[in-house]
Amino acid sequence: MLPKLFLLAATALLSVNAQSSAPAAAAPSGAAFTFKETYPSGGSKPTPKPEWMELIKNANITNAPVVKAGPDGPTQSGNADPYCDWTFTGCTRPDDIVACPKGQWGITYDDGPTAFSPKLYDFLDKTQQKSTLFMIGGQVVAFPDLVTRAYKSNHEIAMHTWSHSYLTTETNEQIVAELMWTATAIKEVTGVTPRFYRPPYGDIDDRVRSIGHALGFIPVIWNHDTDDWRVAEDKTFNEKWIDGNATQWAKDAATAETGGISLEHDLYQKTVDAAIRILPTLQKAYKVTTVGQCVNQPSYKEGGANATSSASASASASASVAPKSSSAAGASGSVSPAGASSSSAAQNTESGASRTAISSAVLVLGASVAYMLI
């Protein structure tokens, strides 16, 4: 097993280096932290513990079918949307967190922690900016020191599942495992259990929602996509479009009916560099906070931590359809032509088989390092 892991890890490292214009920041050693739990391998689809299934045994889980997975994600069957599937129609429910109140901005970063995260954390510390970090379970096990650092710096630690898979294509058992293994790893490192999770690719329907709700978790989507994920997927993508998107959002702040929650990543060097470039632009136009702060909800099941007296964001979750991303296609040569609509499979952020493969490779790399150290 280990030789195979080493081979996959080496392949992953080559993939990451190919996407980076600069060497990775030195990754902290996980040797100082010893996990008591035995975790699934990073990037794998885990199975749940029996006691976790008991948590949803008597819950009212929506009886929606498991969505068929195609080469590029979930495949839609017909035009009807009886189960409020975000991937196909942009549909959201009142309990989904989609946006912050007017004048506020929830800054979020997905897919960490990675070897590129320290540079982002350094900048956030320097500017005294707190963020919401949607962490992948396998990466938590691979980089516990980074998780500890982020938590002690008062960033909001949230979940991005264990394997970064499309949740609507998974069984009830797999969804429980994705969330609970990630929550378990985060709690073992930090001592707290996150309340917020972001479904990979925004892929969620009523079945996924009801399972998450039964486990005590709240889904967080977004209404502004930086398109930074395209750096690794689209060779024609111009990184300046990311800056153009942020500039347009800042211009829109005065007239926008709601605030924003943005989609960014600390998965690659280029996405971290972009995050550092655009944050000052957003800070000048909005009150930039964690998601928990802007919606006035506690970050963790244990209570407290990061919630403030900010105005309630109930209006941000009241719409039945997610608001379109305001990346202003065609407004400027520096703005992403994708438009980053948050409501269709064709324009689904984080979509595409190539990104799934890259993310899985990175997870295997991190997991192999972690298992060597434990």
Containing 70, the helix (H) or strand (E) segment is strand 69-70
Of the candidates 96, 110, 225, 266, the residue annotated as catalytic is 110
Task: Compare 197 and 33 and report the one with higher pLDDT.
Answer: 197
Give the pLDDT score at 305.
58
**Inter-helix orientation angle 144-152/172-190, to 10°:** 70
pTM passes above 0.75: yes
**Inter-helix orientation angle 206-214/172-190, to 10°:** 40
57 pLDDT exceeds 60?
yes
Of the candidates 155, 213, 224, 265, the residue annotated as catalytic is 265
210 pLDDT exceeds 50?
yes
> What is the pLDDT averaged over residues 134-155?
98
268 pLDDT exceeds 80?
yes
* Paired sense of beta strands 73-74 and 69-70, if any: antiparallel
Question: For the chain, what is the domain count?
Answer: 1
Is 110 tagged catalytic?
yes
The encoded tokens of residue 49 equal: 């513990």
Task: Compare 337 and 234 and report the one with higher pLDDT.
Answer: 234
Give the pLDDT score at 350.
54
The mean-pLDDT minimum among 129-138, 273-282, 305-314, 344-353 falls in 305-314
371 pLDDT exceeds 60?
no
**pLDDT by residue (tens digit) across 165-198?**
999 999 999 999 999 999 999 999 999 999 999 9
369 pLDDT exceeds 50?
no
**Residue 75 falls inside a structural domain:** no
Give the pLDDT score at 184.
99
**pLDDT by residue (tens digit) across 196-207?**
999 999 999 999
**Residue 202 falls inside a structural domain:** yes
In this structure, what CATH number is given to the domain that contains residue 175?
A: 3.20.20.370
**Residue 249 falls inside a structural domain:** yes
**pLDDT by residue (tens digit) across 157-170?**
999 999 999 999 99
Q: How far is CA 86 from CA 67, 208, 351, in A?
A: 12, 11, 13
Cβ proximity of 136 and 292 under 8 Å: no
Burial class (CB in 10 A: 0-12, 13-18, 19+), 57: exposed
Containing 16, the helix (H) or strand (E) segment is helix 2-18
> What is the pLDDT averaged over residues 90-119?
98
**Residue 150 falls inside a structural domain:** yes
Task: Compare 78 and 247 and report the one with higher pLDDT.
Answer: 247
φ/ψ of residue 53, rounded to 5: -70, -25
**Residue 118 falls inside a structural domain:** yes
**Residue 250 falls inside a structural domain:** yes
Q: What percent of the chain has pLDDT over 90?
A: 70
Give the pLDDT score at 291.
99
**Residue 3 falls inside a structural domain:** no
**pLDDT by residue (tens digit) across 294-341?**
999 999 999 865 443 333 333 333 333 444 333 333 333 344 443 333
The encoded tokens of residue 5 equal: 């892991």
**Residue 35 falls inside a structural domain:** no
> What is the pLDDT averaged over residues 112-137?
99
The pLDDT confidence band at residue 233, using thresholds 50, 70 and 90, is confident
Q: What percent of the chain has pLDDT over 70?
A: 73
Give the pLDDT score at 30.
52
> What is the pLDDT averaged over residues 136-153?
98
Cβ proximity of 205 and 86 under 8 Å: yes
Mean pLDDT of the chain: 82
CA distance 266 to 110: 6
> What range defines the domain where residue 338 resides?
89-351
73 pLDDT exceeds 80?
yes
DSSP state, residue 334: T
> What is the pLDDT averaged over residues 134-152?
98
